[in-house]
Amino acid sequence: MDLLKLSIPTLAKMLREKKISSQELVSFYLERIKKHKKLNAYITVLEDAVNKAKDIDMKGIKNDDPVLRGIPYSLKDNMLADGVKTTCASRILENYIAGYDSTIAKRLKDSGAVLLGKTNMDEFAMGSSNENSHFGPVCNPWNEKHVAGGSSGGSAVSVSAGLSQFSYGTDTGGSVRLPASFNGVASLKPTYGRMSRYGIIAFASSLDQIGPIAKNIEDLAIAYDVVSGHDPKDSTTSIKNKDGMYEYLIKEVKDRENNFSRKTVGIPRDMLIGGCSKDVLNSLEQSKKVLTDMGFDFVDIDLPNSKYALAVYYIIVTGEASSNLSRYDGVRYGYRTKDYEELKDLYSLSRGDGFGDEVRRRIILGTFVLSAGYYDAYFSKAAKVRSLIKKDFEKVFEKCDSILMPVSPVTAFKIGERTKDPLEMYLSDIFTVSANLAAVPSLGFPAGRDSRGLPIGMQLIGKHFDEKTLFTTAWMIQKQKPEWFNNIATTVKEKKVIE
């Protein structure tokens, strides 16, 4: 029995029928984590997860228990879990132990899911390749010489390499969708306000959003359902009723598929000119053909202000980051230098030694764009253009129900290939940041592989709080192209990927 090929609903059924125990399932994943340690997907592995699984088995799993009871998962290391080390992949929080649960950790704990550990990431979620971690880069399991994508690279690899059943990352400008794309798994950046950020270490508060990562659309829907919804501890969460996405897919879409009202999908052709690889563009056309064959209509759309999205994003995100990270001062918690004479030396030396290059770069840029004399020229103007980008999406959604486009213009590049040129690295986010700026949902799905065998990802962008359309469309793609989903990478040697 190949456990790696099984979905959450199948595993849940097996656990209830006692065909497998939670302890066996958790032990299986912990052994794989040890076997594939060189991928560097985890910062902290919780060996006592076996004991928690054993306790679940002793108490038993009933039919009416939450579907995730006894199922193992992982969390990005910027999400607090009570009593567990939470580092944000930074030296400045290298030994920080969380004193309480984030809302996501609490909801997962209440569901009975078993936490395997905390995954590696770009430091403070700042990066597109997962090379900016204090604990070293995460390797892509399809080819270990290539990047995993960032900033949630460890979370994506934990699913792609079969080191957890599902996982969660954070998406500020593409940090869930990009690594999922590079690793051949599904992901979701929900509408801003759909999931609570309480207990998530902040990067850019107006952009940060939690997102699930899974092998297939049904697992993604279950992972979405358990943590979404209003949270009184986070005033930015919406009071809108959340959808029971998995139940909707199974009961509504499956039963009424023949009578399902097909939607109109837009493609922003102007954004794709000149930047995409041939393999990525071919994959886009394949995805379009799949939907066309099922009766979906397509229109070309224009998002005129999206050409400014990357510049707007990096002004806003650095400004908010410089403010959020001012709390790490070497006084209250975290890394503290021993070699100082005056208070200002304590601050500067602790922050200089504790933060990595990319974090320091963004703090400096953010401090600049927020400073007197430059705020109006940069941050204020960027906020105004952000409003225009949001209005572009609202206008486009008057004539289409969702937007189809690549997650990235290229597939996973080699480790070290872009680290010397920050601007080239930032261009990795060119297709993802717009959804964050407009606060709309985006679902990433695997769409085949390039000529070297590396995964390609597409994304569906939808209207505010219309995750239902995205899940439905992706579910139908999965039914037509099952070979794109449920693929588990192990190592480059086993897969024989062409470099």
Burial of 13 (0-12, 13-18, 19+ CB in 10 A): middle
Burial of 3 (0-12, 13-18, 19+ CB in 10 A): middle
Strand positions, DSSP E, 371-491? 402-406, 442-449, 455-462
Cis preceding linkage at 326, omega within 30: no
How many Å apart are CA 236 and CA 197, to the nearest integer?
8
What parts of the chain have a pLDDT lower than 70? 254-260, 490-499
Q: Does the residue 65 lie in any domain? A: yes
CATH of the domain at 449: 3.90.1300.10
Q: Does the residue 320 lie in any domain? A: no
Q: Does the residue 29 lie in any domain? A: yes
Q: Which residue has the tokens 């192209």?
A: 481
How many Å apart are CA 482 and CA 301, to the nearest integer?
29
Q: Does the residue 247 lie in any domain? A: yes
Active site residue 175: yes
Task: Tell me which residue range forms the domain holding 490.
Answer: 14-305+386-495
Contacts of 284 (CB under 8 A, 6+ apart): 267, 272, 276, 404, 405, 406, 447, 458
Q: Out of 74, 90, 175, 306, pick the active-site residue.
A: 175
Answer yes or no: are the C-beta atoms of 408 and 457 closer than 8 Å: yes
Q: Out of 111, 151, 181, 442, pick the active-site residue.
A: 151
pLDDT in tens, 299-312: 999 999 999 999 99
How many Å apart are CA 490 and CA 143, to the nearest integer?
9
Q: Out of 7, 21, 76, 164, pick the active-site residue.
A: 76
How many Å apart are CA 127 and CA 244, to the nearest integer?
33
Q: Which residue has the tokens 């790696």?
A: 4
Q: Does the residue 410 lie in any domain? A: yes
pTM higher than 0.85: yes
Q: What is the DSSP string of 148-199?
A: --SSSHHHHHHHHTTSSSEEEEE-SSSTTHHHHHHHT-EEEEPPTTSB--TT
Answer yes or no: are the C-beta atoms of 393 and 442 closer than 8 Å: no
Specify the DSSP element, H or E, that contains 115: strand 114-119
Contacts of 410 (CB under 8 A, 6+ apart): 276, 277, 280, 428
Q: Does the residue 4 lie in any domain? A: no
Number of domains in the chain: 1
Q: Does the residue 93 lie in any domain? A: yes
Answer yes or no: are the C-beta atoms of 245 and 467 closer than 8 Å: yes
pLDDT in tens, 52-91: 999 999 999 999 999 999 999 999 999 999 999 999 999 9
Q: Does the residue 172 lie in any domain? A: yes
Pairing of strands 72-76, 114-119: parallel
